[in-house]
Amino acid sequence: MARFLAERACFVGEATVSGLLYNLGRYPGMTESSSETNRVTGDIYQLAEGEETIRELDRYENAESPLPSFFERGRAEATLTHGQKIQALVYWFRGTVTEAQRIESGDYRGILEKPGA
């Protein structure tokens, strides 16, 4: 997917959205939060090819999820690191999670950087 995005999108920057992040094993899942203090960190890309690119992202996000899909595309207000707020497409996780799976920092990179992860 990194190669796909490099060919069809332009990296805008790092941003946060209101949400809760969970470690689902091989990948993370984000759910909505009722509190703006719960933030999830991610990267923002400007998509170049519109609907075709979005269809491929939908396919990728749902490749390992049984139907009905555990991931649902939606919108969220993202705050870039310099403070600008923009609307972004995000994928909300719709499966079951436990508090033990929660990534308190909201940043999945911290999980990936741990030895043995």
Q: Which domains, from first to last, does the chain contain?
A: 2-106 (3.10.490.10)
List pLDDT tens digits, range 72-109. Answer: 999 999 999 999 999 999 999 999 999 999 999 999 99
Model pTM? 0.85
For residue 5, which of 44, 37, 62 has the smallest C-alpha distance?
44
Contacts of 9 (CB under 8 A, 6+ apart): 45, 46, 47, 48, 53
Interatomic CA distance for residues 59 and 90, integer angstroms: 14
Residue 67: the pLDDT is 60
Of 28, 26, 41, the residue nearest 76 (C-alpha): 41
